[in-house]
Structure 1
Amino acid sequence: MDDSKTMIVQWCHEQGLLGLMPHSISQVVLAPHVEKFPKSDAIVHKKAGNRPPSSIQWQVQYARTSRGWSESRLPTASRGAIEPGVLTQRGTYESLQHLAHFFPKVARPDISDEWKTHRYPLPLTPKFWSEYGESLSDFLFAAHMLRLSVDAMALKKNPRSQVDQQRMFALEAFLDPLLTPIGFTYGLQSGVGVVPRLYAGSLLAAFAAMALEDVPKGQIKRCPVCGSPFVAGAHQQTLYCSKRCRWTAQRRAYRKRKRADEIEGG
Structure 2
Amino acid sequence: MTASVEFVSGRWFKFSEYFFEDANIHGNVLTQHGWYDPWELYWASAGNDGPRPYQSLLDFGSKVRLDISTRGRPVPRFEGDVQEVLSWCSEWGLLGLFHQYTLMIRFPARWREVTIDGEKGIYPWFEQYHRIAGGWHEGGTIIYPHPQGQKEQLWERAEVDESAARRSATMAEAITYVPEYGHFGSAPLVHAWGHYFPDNRTGDSDDAVNHRPDQELFWYDYSEPLDEFLLAAARFVKITTEASVGNQNALSSLQDLVSPITPGIERFGNEKPRLKWLSPSLLASFAMMFALDLTQGYRVLACEVCGRLFSSSSNRVKFCSSRCRNTAQKRAYRTRKQK
Q: Same fold (TM over 0.5)?
A: yes
1:190 and 1:148 map into 2 onto residues whose CA distance is 45
Give percent identity, aligned residues only: 22
SS at match of 1:184: strand
- Match of residue 101 from structure 1: 195
Q: 1:62 aligns with which of 129, 139, 148?
A: 129
Partners of 2:308 and 2:269 in 1: CA distance? 40
Q: Which runs of 5+ in 2 are unaligned?
A: 1-77, 147-159, 178-182
Partner Cα separation in structure 1 for residue 93 and residue 222 of structure 2? 11
Give the counterpart letter for 2:95 in structure 1. L
Which residue in the other structure is 1:160 paired with? none
Show the counterpart of 1:87: 175
Cα deviations across residues 201-252 of structure 1 (Å, max 9, x unaligned)?
211111111111111222334142344543349x9997644x5xx4344234
In the alignment, the residues of structure 2 paired with residue 202 and residue 187 of structure 1 have an alpha-carbon distance, to the nearest angstrom, of 20
Which residue identity lines up with residue 86 of structure 1 in the other structure?
A
Return the offset for 1:187. 2.6
Name the residue aligned to 1:214.
Answer: 293
State the match for 2:205 in structure 1.
Answer: 118
Contact in 2 for aligned 1:155/1:168 (Cα 8 Å): no
Aligned residues: 229
More strand by share: 2
Structure 1 length normalisation: TM-score?
0.71
Which residue in 1 is equivalent to 2:139?
Answer: 72
Q: Which structure has the higher relative contact order (CA within 8 Å, separation 6+)?
A: 2
Question: Cα RMSD over matched residues?
Answer: 3.4
Amino acid at match of 2:205: H
Q: What are the residue-to-residue correspondences of 1:1-266 with 2, within 5 Å? A: 3-34=80-111, 57-74=124-141, 76=143, 77=146, 79=164, 83-89=171-177, 90-98=183-191, 99-106=193-200, 115=202, 117-119=204-206, 120=208, 121-155=211-245, 167-172=247-252, 174-188=253-267, 193-225=272-304, 226-232=306-312, 240-241=319-320, 246-258=322-334, 260-261=336-337, 263=338
- Does the 8 Å contact 1:179/1:208 carry over to 2? yes
SS where residue 117 of structure 1 aligns? Answer: coil
Cα distance in 2 for residues equivalent to 1:218 and 1:4: 35
Bigger helix share: 1
Using the size of structure 2 for normalisation, the TM-score is 0.57
Larger Rg: 1
Amino acid at match of 2:231: F
